[in-house]
Structure 1
Amino acid sequence: MATITALNSTFNNDSLACTNLYDHRSWAHIFLPIMYSLICIVGFLGNALALHVIWPNLKKMNSTTLYSANLVVSDILFSLSLPLRVVYYAKGFHWPMGEGLCKAIALLFYINMYAGVNFMTCLSVDRFIAVVLPLRFSRFRKVQNVKYICVAVWVVVLMQTLPLLSMPMTNVEESGHTTCMEYPNFEKIENLPVMLIGAVLLGYGIPVITILVCYSALCYKLRLLAKSNKLTEKSGRSRKAIGVICAVILVFVVCYSPYHVDLLQYMARKLQYKPDCSELHNFQISLHITVCLMNLNSCLDPFIYFFACKGYKKKVLKLLKKQVSMSFSSVVRTSPEGSSKDVFASEKFHMNNRTCQKPRSSMLVDDE
């Protein structure tokens, strides 16, 4: 108890020394709510569509679709928590909803982050096995075994995130604002730089290396296959594998890399010396931007489903064609040049066109 009191006292003294940590709220309370609102809407709709495609075909799932389904569940849960983050940022970094709800939101955030990283790594390994080692390790792609792997991944994710429940997530600032899930609220933890550097290496470093190795080996294998067999390039299997890996790499580069690199460099500096208030404020700003980028993963994950899940790709293309068709029809109906004479001419053209196409249509039926 004495140690905890001493730590709290030290933290409070440090926080009093730095009064500029949230000086950027003048623009952040507009920019961040807009960004998180867009992430919430786009991410929810994209993943809801994926769930709509996957759910009716649960009994026909393969390994790739199963990993994607777990990503969908993680992203949808995360999207449902974002409205509260929007309120928090709109109020200028003020959380009026209590410690318990702040911890719940933090838990969903970190679960989404680690689940996203781990399941994207699984997707990359799955594509690697499918193309490079299809016979030797095919058992790892059997649906029953993949279910066990998914359960194991969720267990690992919970082990990584549940300790957060024992940490204080909120802090009352001098200004009267109650902050939630902000970096300064964690500075009371002993050996924080070492812990965070370890978390970055385990939670980001190992998955990135795994994905890059899989990608390199996969590309090399496909190049060899293309040289030995020209028909390989025409098969959808190779394009699907490349599409999945490229989408995963894109999500990692755009979403996860800036945050983890930012965290790593600041913790490395913190081990060498105590950063001043100006450095801590700059780190706060960079964290708010890189965390926002990381949350974009829930919007970009549907691109992975687009390449990985055949049903999702067909559904998206069908919806796009339908939307284009509806837009075109709307333009024709509202066009000022759409006079009765033009409409009559258009109908005549279509009738003549159908008449001309009739013999060809009959011939095609005869051919079949």
Structure 2
Amino acid sequence: LELTGNQSCSSDDEVFKYRAYTVTYLLVFPIGFLTNSGALFVLLRLTPKRSASTIVMTNLALSDTFFSLTLPLRLAYYFRGARWDLPDWLCRLCVFCFYLNLYTSVLFLTCLSVLRWLAVLKPLQHRALATPLRTSLTCLGIWLFVGGSSVPFLSWGTRIRAGQTRCFEPGKLDDWKKIFALSYVGLTFGFLVPFATILICYGFIIRRLTGLTGTLGGGNPLTSPESRTHNHVRRHRQRRALHLVAMVICTFLICFLPYHVARSLHLHAVVGRWGCVATKSLQRVLVVTLCLAAANSVMNPLLYYCAGESFRASILAFCQHLLNIQKNYLMKNNYFG
């Protein structure tokens, strides 16, 4: 929900809010939809090995693609001057999909960090635990958990305000109190616990990489060429693990942390009746942080490319295949004389 204060406190900020959302969704929709649908194509059609990380990335890209498809409905709402002319169930679905995407993204990113931690520190357990079947069941569990937890948001549909049918706006104070309770459930299980998990993973990986820096023997002249090659490959994989967890932490710090802090403070202001000045100020902060949260669907494809070696290799192989087709076509038709 696009959380705002009561009508008297929020009316002056509606222009800022709607402009911010319109600009954000105009950017996020085409970029997010194209990059995530492209990522799905690469992960499902071009990546030969169905590893645990690939399965998690596929589910993450699927979540971002679904969310991107709801953005045109939100844009239509803002272009009409905050008037909802579509069926009520679509309004409810848009609200539901926002939270479904937000918290499935958080948990899938956490899964990637845990998988990388297992691969670096416990490779034998990683092979035994991170099977495609177990990973698929874990992803299914995440979908069911987040979907079930987000069902209460389906109860908030359209409402009439100022003679217009509105969406994304809670009505009575009782609605705000319900959102207040749900917010802390999301804050605890959808942000604090996952964020603590990835920080722990990050700490252990850093410790392992630091400890291995002087022990891999890369500069020892007595080390055999085979050992140096093995150590080089091992260091490369561990650096890639570090890059993945670092990118996940950046996503949390940019997209998720500001939104959860601003949302919690704003809900306290509304339910606790802190006054219009505080509510309006926090509302503006919340609008900006919600835009950052929505932008996480644009950042995730960068993670696939930078941290997913098989993903990157599949893209490069596909591009090379297209170049070969074009070259053969040009040669066949004597375009080179």
TM-score range, shorter chain: 0.7 to 0.9
Partner of residue 244, structure 1: 244
Deviation at 1:101, TM superposition (A): 0.9
Change (3 A) 1:186 1:300: farther
Q: Which residue of 1 aligns with 2:328?
A: none
Aligned to 2:109: 120
* Partner residue of 2:206 out of 181, 205, 219: 219
- Residue 298 (structure 1) shift: 0.6
Q: CA RMSD for the aligned pairs?
A: 2.6
Return the offset for 1:134: 1.5
What are the residue-to-residue correspondences of 1:271-310 with 2, within 5 Å?
273-310=272-309
Displacement of 1:201: 1.4
Q: How far apart are residue 315 of structure 1 and its match?
A: 5.6
Matched, 1:258 2:251: no
What residue ranges of structure 2 are gaps of 5+ in the alignment? 219-230, 322-337
**1:37-56 maps to which residues of 2 (within 5 A)?**
37-56=26-45
In the alignment, which residue of structure 1 is the partner of 2:159? Answer: 171
Deviation at 1:74, TM superposition (A): 0.6
AA in 2 matched with 1:312: F
Gaps of 5+ in 1: 1-13, 323-368
The alpha-carbon deviation at position 206 of structure 1 amounts to 0.4
Partner residue, 1:210 = 197
Residue pairs, 1:326-345, within 5 angstroms: none
1:26 maps onto 2:15 in alignment? yes
CA contact (8 A) 1:243 1:308 kept: yes
CA contact (8 A) 2:266 2:286 kept: no
Contact persistence 1:169–1:185 (CA under 8 A): no
Matches within 5 A, 1:89-104: 89-104=78-93
1:286-328 CA distance string (max 9 Å, x none):
2222111101011000111113322432466689999xxxxxx
CA contact (8 A) 1:29 1:91 kept: no
Contact 1:193 1:270 in 2 (8 A): no
SS of the counterpart of 2:156? coil
Larger Rg belongs to? 1
Q: TM (normalized to structure 2)?
A: 0.81
Out of 142, 146, 149, which is 1:157 matched to? Answer: 146
Secondary structure at 2:209's aligned position in 1? helix
Shift of 1:24: 2.6
Answer yes or no: is the 8 Å Cα contact 1:96–1:178 preserved in 2.
yes
Kept in 2, the 8 Å contact 1:168–1:185? The answer is: no
- Do the aligned residues in 2 keep the contact of 1:266 with 1:283 (CA within 8 Å)? yes
SS of 1:131's equivalent? Answer: helix
Identify which range, 116-125 or 144-153, moves more after superposition: 144-153
1:161 Cα shift?
1.2
The offset of 1:180, in angstroms, is: 1.5
Question: Deviation of residue 57 (structure 1)?
Answer: 4.4
**Is the aligned partner of 1:197 residue 2:184?**
yes
Higher relative contact order (CA 8 A, sep 6+): 2
Distance 1:201 1:215, change over 3 A: same
Report the alpha carbon displacement of residue 170 of structure 1 after superposing the two structures with TM: 2.4
Deviation for aligned residue 1:30: 3.6
CA deviation vs aligned residue, 1:21-74 (integer Å, no higher than 9, x gap):
132333444442222011011111111221121112466210111100000111
Q: CA separation in 2, counterparts of 1:28 and 1:129? A: 43
* Match in the other structure for 1:352: none
What is the alpha-carbon distance in structure 1 between the residues aligned to residue 314 and residue 78 of structure 2? 35
User: 1:130-167 deviations in whole A, cap 9, x for unaligned?
Assistant: 001112353221112111111111111111112222x2
Alignment deviations for residues 118-137 of structure 1 (CA, whole Å, 9 cap, x no partner) = 10000000000000111235
CA positional deviation for 1:246: 1.3
1:282 Cα offset (Å): 2.9
Count of equivalent residues: 304
Matching residue of 2:64: 75
Change (3 A) 1:162 1:28: closer
